Chains A and B, each alone.
Chain A
Amino acid sequence: MTSTVFPARTALHEKHDAGLIDSLRRRALEIRIHVVKMVHTARSGHYGGSMSIADLLAVLYFHEMSIDPANPQWQGRDRLVLSKGHAAPALYAALALRGFFPVERLATLRRIDSILQGHPDMRKTPGVDYTTGSLGHGLGVAVGMALGSKLNRQGFRVYAIVGDGEMQEGSIWEAAMAAPRFGLDNLTVIVDYNGLQVEGRVDEIMPIEPIVSKWAAFGWEVREIDGHSVPEILEALDWAKQLRGKPGLIVAHTIKGKGVSFMENQVNWHKGSLDDATFPRALEELEAQFTLGR
């Protein structure tokens, strides 16, 4: 097996400077705080899976991707497909913080006439690269984008975030078969491996393991990281960019509900709702992390 499993974790901090890592961590915290505020205000939406991808989105939108918030339709931009579209609150927070639309709009999540639909809508929200929310679709769309970049010699990169539960969809495996066939080394797929899905544990409902060897067998280069470690995310994205002739899969081990103690690893916080007592507690916990470090 050619895949790199459990990468060496040496000298990560040397490669990316401490200032960058710290600023990206703060961005991830800001995303989480907005997620809690938005979903609480909307009284509807998904906390768990939004919180688990906050660090990934912070690194992608504030460091990795070549994008222009003033020109969201720029043809040469890098693209991100949030295949697990129910994590839309985290995506909206990242886009607003990055300047695609005013942060104040976040308060309109899921309301009538809002630009922020329950699941991402590319026609309504600046910066959303594809409409998602129906599980299993986004990865195939990302394969098409990366193929288009190759066919047109446009040179942009495509990122897709796939849920672990989403991997139970058959269409994921059709896309998994196609990307290596077309040699899509401009495609980086990140699995948000938080281990939980709507109704329980992924490994109990319909196991997806052995995930690393499965994807490697399909022709992908695979590596596993801690999906909450900014240095590891930075390094894995760099690794994926070095690949030639093959797409890269980053298995990001994450914690559903990450950042709010009573949400972490709790299946009932896939959705769930905060009340007058728990809402301030959640915010306090997150804000404390700005100073405490993690």
Chain B
Amino acid sequence: MGTTFSPVIKMERPGTGISPTITPLPGSSLLAVHEVLSSALEDIARDHPELVVLNADTAKSCGVDKFFRAHPEHAVQMGVAEQNMVLVSAGLWTAGRIPVVTTFAAFACLRVCEQVRTSIAYPGANVKILASHAGISPGEDGVTHQCIEDLGIMRTIPNMVVVAPADAPSAVALLRQAVEHTGPVYLRYARPKTPVLYADGAPLKLGKAEILRVGTDIAFIACGPLVATALRAAEVLEQDGLSCCVVDVHTIKPLDAETICKVASLAGAVVTAEDHNIIGGLGSAVAETLAEHCPVPMGRVGVRDTFAESGRYELLLDKYGMSVERLCDTARAVFRRKR
């Protein structure tokens, strides 16, 4: 995902009342969440000694291997037994720990769905589910290891906070806030390197969408690695004379309806973008909110209710409809529907 874009000048569009909340980096450097996760957990454990990280034989792939080696007192290896990992995390919570469960999204959401709903979310266990390999990002591993269903499933579970950070620095910031939030959190991240949009220590807030770019014709509302794609698409469209908002909705639930409605009202047209099935995820959440509060023409970019296949992530994103070009095409089509 070698997409780049020039920094946006932080300024309020005249008369809009909206300005970028954070100015994104150029997106020219690439970083994967798993590369920074161990040190992030180390920092968090320093402030929260009750942290305990569980893993199901995927420590290296998830990026917690260094943490496991350095802090065995904060780490429990559960073997290839995800159901038990989730249940054990529930028990650890009752002993006053803050468990962080780590494995691939396909297992963290689908294999253990009922354990998560009934034994984590229902009692409100203070357990954090850290799901790697989200969306079609596991690429070459294919459909068995991809997961385009998790946002939809997790956000229908009461008590669950659902997070899909755009890049590694925001994943680190939001993970800390997830640990400091009392109650269950599901946080998903992509396996490969993706463009870095946020500086370390950027002031993101769980539950608060970030406006990265302001525009008056179209609003891109995105999450995960598709935020960078949306910023690139905004650049392209700007050259065509279409002015675009880009919003990073890293917290899918609770959804920042206020910011979403604000940019939707300003732009009058919305395109959502996510590495997820277009059914049930961010696009659905935004559609529900807009339909209730401020209906505008809208399009959804994501996997179009199909299973993908093996292949390089960038190529899969193109083939399965999540390229810059597809975002631009969708935006133009939605723009034409504006009255």
Spell out A's residues near B (CB within 8 Å): 75, 79, 121-123, 129-131, 133-134, 136-137, 139-149, 151-152, 154, 158, 170-171, 174-175, 177-178, 181
Contacts and interface: CB of A to CB of B under 8 A. Distances in A.
Contacts of A136: 83
A261 to B, nearest CB: 36
A143 B122 contact: no
Interface string B73-113: 10010110101101111111111110100000000000000
Contacts of A170: 83
B280 to A, nearest CB: 23
B118 interface: yes
Contacts of B131: none
Given A130-B94, A134-B119, 18 more contacts: A123-B124, A129-B94, A130-B90, A130-B91, A131-B119, A141-B87, A141-B91, A143-B91, A145-B91, A145-B94, A146-B91, A147-B88, A148-B96, A152-B95, A154-B95, A171-B84, A177-B79, A178-B78
Given A137-B115, A144-B92, A174 B84 contact: yes
B91 A137 contact: no
B123 interface: yes
A119 to B, nearest CB: 10
A131 B122 contact: yes
B318 interface: no
A141 B83 contact: no
Given A79-B94, A130-B123, A152-B97, A147 B87 contact: no
Nearest to B114: A134
B52 interface: yes
21 contacts: A75-B95, A79-B94, A121-B123, A122-B123, A130-B90, A130-B119, A131-B123, A137-B87, A139-B87, A140-B88, A144-B89, A144-B92, A147-B95, A148-B91, A148-B96, A148-B97, A149-B95, A151-B97, A154-B95, A171-B84, A174-B81
Contacts of B52: 151
B151 to A, nearest CB: 23
A223 B185 CA distance: 41
A178 B80 CA distance: 11
A237 B284 CA distance: 53
B95 A178 contact: no
A122 B78 CA distance: 25
A126 B264 CA distance: 47
Nearest to B74: A151
Across the A-B interface, the 8 shortest Cβ-Cβ residue pairs: A144-B91, A148-B95, A140-B87, A174-B84, A144-B88, A145-B91, A174-B81, A171-B83
Given A147-B76, A151-B52, A178 B94 contact: no
A170 B83 CA distance: 9
Contacts of B122: 121, 131
Contacts of A122: 123
Contacts of A75: 95-96
B96 A144 contact: no
Contact of A148 (B73, B83, B92, B115): B92
B84 A178 contact: yes
A174 B83 contact: yes
Contact of A140 (B84, B93, B124): B84
A141 B84 CA distance: 8
B78 A142 contact: no
Contacts of B99: 144
Contacts of B123: 121-123, 130-131
Interface centre among A136, A145, A174 (most CB of B within 10 A): A174
A134 B95 contact: no
A158 B97 CA distance: 16
A152 B99 CA distance: 13
A151 B95 contact: yes
Contacts of B92: 144-145, 147-148, 151
Contact of B88 (A123, A130, A141): A141
Contacts of B95: 75, 144-145, 147-149, 151-152, 154
A46 to B, nearest CB: 18
Contacts of A130: 90-91, 94, 119, 123
Contacts of A181: 79
Contacts of B86: 140
A269 B90 CA distance: 32
B94 A143 contact: no
A134 to B, nearest CB: 5
A170 B82 CA distance: 11
A136 B122 CA distance: 16
B115 A171 contact: yes
Contacts of A140: 83-84, 86-88, 90-91, 115
Nearest to B95: A148
Contacts of B97: 148, 151-152
A175 B84 CA distance: 6
A178 B88 contact: yes
Interface centre among B83, B84, B119 (most CB of A within 10 A): B84
B87 A175 contact: yes
